[in-house]
Structure 1
Amino acid sequence: MPTRSARRLSAVAITVATVTGAVALAPAASANNPEPTPSTSITPLSAAGNGGVTILKKDPGGDVVAGATFNLLDSTGKQAASGTTDAEGQLTFQDLPPGVYRLKEVSSGSPLHEVVDDQDVIVTPGADTPLTIIDPFKPASVRLKAKDDKTGKLLAGSTVNIGSGDKTILTLTTGSDGTASGKLPINSRTGSDFWVKQVKAPAGYEIYTSVKAFKAKPGDPVTVTVTNAKTVTTPPPTEKPTDQPSNRPTPDKPGQDEDNPAPSASGTPTSDETASSTAAPTPGGSLAHTGADATPWLIGGAGVLIAAGGGALFAARRRRADNATDDGSTTS
């Protein structure tokens, strides 16, 4: 089939495609309506009953895109027509036999825009089929780096969320080389605003709590760097040797009795000592302080025994002297 010529029409086409979603990581371009509806106003193209296709090319912001190139393929895959959008973003294929064709965008004609996916187009006898095609903006390429804040060493295992407004768009985790890459959708010629927040720090590092803001334009490469400080660890305390004598009891040096506190350094007796010195003697059979209150009794008993022994010795000697006197008087 010979290639048909393309001409511009002044009539405005009906929109049958929608803008690609802005939350996709790598948005796929599509016209979102593979089977366009014929226009309500039909323009006769030829007496033979052939039809045509009119394309209006725009971007997500509503601006027309000139210089976009399209190929139209028939059911056998052979090129039936080819053309480029004019300054008003329009392109028309004429005098096409009725049937189903495949529309392929070869070039967007702009460094800021992506091409859309291929789609089917139905050519109706005696009618001009309108199509509005939206070329999405090229996504920005974002590269994440995680570094040690002291040495600059790249760190693996850093996870960040990247989003816009209150929505998270992309999550990246650095690999063994300390980097990660992704795509960010752009919805304006002048670029879009984004934020990045670390949600997981590399092992052995403190998490970076601040939120960084950045801007990316269509097709721009952007590098985001997150630095982390090492986790601070407190070593366990170590006991230092001391010259102070230990208060712990030893077999050859018993410890101080808990019930007999050491005297005050000022010489003033402690409350326990005062109470001990003024308390009444404990009745026999109960020793509140073993070996302390029994001493006066032992001393008194020893004195009594000594006195008794001395008296007995004195009495024995007196008796012996009296006997000797008696014997003398008898013999004289």
Structure 2
Amino acid sequence: MHIHSPRRTTAAAITVAAAVAGPLAWAPAAAAHAPEPTSSASAPAVRHLPETGGVKIFKKDPDGGRMAGAAFTLLDDAGKEAASGRTDAEGRLAFEDLSTGVYRLKETDSGSPLHTVAADQDVIVTPGTAVPLTVIDPFKPANLTVKKTDKSSGKPLPGAIVNVTLVDSSGKTVTVTTGKDGTATVQLPVTTRTGTPYKITESKAPSGYELDSAPAKITAKPGASETVTLADTPKRHPTPTPSPTETAPTPTAPAKPAPERTPGKQNQATPRPEASASGAAAPTPSSATPTPQQATGSLAHTGADATPWLLGTAGVLLAGGAAVVIAARRRRSQDAAPTDGR
């Protein structure tokens, strides 16, 4: 029996190994990697449950005050309600254990008579976190009514254009026009709890009226109603002036009517002659010097006063009476002369 030496056997094994290793060393490098396992041969994937998140809400007003009792609803991407609640005394509300995704936050009630609800907003819930949100409720607007009237009669005036200007650095202006009833309404934003100042000015007066440029001032408070009345004066039409070529007629005063006279009567009684100093009776008109006969009718009105004429007539009659008295005395003297001669 042939027994190989261990040393010889070892040398033969090394020779065979060298012969085999030579060709493998020159093979392409890709051939040296094991092929990637196919999906059918891979191990099944491990599924993890989705992590949850939340939303934390802090509610306040424009002045910074915390608002309790505000109601919110959280809607998922399908529009279904995922959570709801109201803010506590600190103005806080938390929604927890929400699946990750996009939600719609909707305020349904401000919980205050001075505030209105905030606009809706989207919220993205991420795993393991609570999204913080600060929601500010604006103050309710004030309702302004502008009235335009006639200053003298009080009737409403349509067509007046009025500017309502915010009294601050922005100077924002809203323009309104009065309707058929002489009024116009507008809602005014309010930025503080104590109110916001506004100035109301007329920029165009109704047809036929003077523009009232004096502004009115108000302080608009949250949710309150304000009324401002502006009165206009009708325009005065100037009196037409006559042209230089035309002369305005001068009014003539009517003549005074003459006093009425009664036919057959004199306006003034004729004075009778007085008796002589010797006691002789005044001569009758038959023995006196004939006097011109007076007309029985009324005198024609000449516009002159009748007093001078009457005075002249009285003088003539007095002179005639005196002549008659002198003639009578002479006759008596002549009749007495022959008797003394006998």
TM-score bucket (shorter structure): 0.5 to 0.7
Distance (whole Å) between structure 2 residues aligned to residue 168 and residue 143 of structure 1: 18
Distance (whole Å) between structure 1 residues aligned to residue 158 and residue 251 of structure 2: 50
CA drift at 1:235? 2.5
Equivalent runs, 1:198-237 vs 2, <5 Å:
198-237=202-241
1:81 counterpart SS class: strand
Distance (whole Å) between structure 2 residues aligned to residue 200 and residue 168 of structure 1: 19
Q: Which residue of 2 aligns with 1:291?
A: none
Equivalent runs, 1:251-266 vs 2, <5 Å:
none
Equivalent runs, 1:299-310 vs 2, <5 Å:
none
Q: Which residue of 1 aligns with 2:74?
A: 72
Q: Which residue of 2 aligns with 1:105?
A: 107
2:78 counterpart SS class: coil
Q: Is the contact made by 1:161 and 1:168 (CA closer than 8 Å) also made in structure 2? A: no
Q: Which residue of 1 aligns with 2:86?
A: 84
Given candidates 144, 169, 179, the residue that maps to 2:173 is 169
In the alignment, structure 1 residue 242 sits paired with structure 2 residue 246: no
The runs of 5 or more residues in structure 2 that have no matched partner are: 1-48, 253-342
Tell me how large the CA RMSD over aligned residues is: 1.6
Distance (whole Å) between structure 2 residues aligned to residue 212 and residue 176 of structure 1: 22
2:62 counterpart SS class: coil
Counterpart of 2:248, as a letter, is: K
Q: Which residue of 2 aligns with 1:39?
A: none
Distance (whole Å) between structure 2 residues aligned to residue 82 and residue 96 of structure 1: 12
CA drift at 1:62? 0.9
CA drift at 1:194? 1.2
Distance (whole Å) between structure 2 residues aligned to residue 240 and residue 156 of structure 1: 41
Given candidates 181, 192, 195, the residue that maps to 1:191 is 195
CA drift at 1:243? 6.6
Higher RCO (CA < 8 A, seq sep 6+): 1
TM-score when normalising by structure 1: 0.57
Q: Is the contact made by 1:70 and 1:103 (CA closer than 8 Å) also made in structure 2? A: yes
Q: Work out the number of aligned pairs and report it.
A: 198
Q: Which residue of 1 aligns with 2:117?
A: 115
Report Cα offsets for 1:60-107 as digits up to 9, x if no partner: 111111111000011111111000011111100011000001111000
Structure with max Cα Rg = 2
Distance (whole Å) between structure 2 residues aligned to residue 129 and residue 143 of structure 1: 44
Distance (whole Å) between structure 2 residues aligned to residue 179 and residue 112 of structure 1: 26
Distance (whole Å) between structure 2 residues aligned to residue 69 and residue 147 of structure 1: 45
User: Structure 1 residues 61 and 243 mapped into 2: Cα distance closer, same or farther (>3 Å)?
Assistant: closer
Range with greater deviation from structure 2 (166-175 or 57-66): 166-175
Q: Is the contact made by 1:141 and 1:184 (CA closer than 8 Å) also made in structure 2? A: yes
TM-score when normalising by structure 2: 0.56
Q: Which residue of 2 aligns with 1:137?
A: 139
Distance (whole Å) between structure 1 residues aligned to residue 185 and residue 161 of structure 2: 12
Distance (whole Å) between structure 1 residues aligned to residue 251 and residue 236 of structure 2: 33
Distance (whole Å) between structure 2 residues aligned to residue 233 and residue 169 of structure 1: 34
CA drift at 1:116? 1.2
CA drift at 1:48? 5.5
Q: Is the contact made by 1:146 and 1:225 (CA closer than 8 Å) also made in structure 2? A: yes
Distance (whole Å) between structure 2 residues aligned to residue 203 and residue 159 of structure 1: 11
User: Structure 1 residues 168 and 205 mapped into 2: Cα distance closer, same or farther (>3 Å)?
Assistant: farther
Q: Is the contact made by 1:54 and 1:91 (CA closer than 8 Å) also made in structure 2? A: yes
Q: Is the contact made by 1:142 and 1:182 (CA closer than 8 Å) also made in structure 2? A: yes
Distance (whole Å) between structure 2 residues aligned to residue 107 and residue 168 of structure 1: 29
Counterpart of 1:241, as a letter, is: P
Equivalent runs, 1:7-156 vs 2, <5 Å:
49-156=51-158
CA drift at 1:190? 1.1
Range with greater deviation from structure 2 (128-137 or 169-178): 169-178
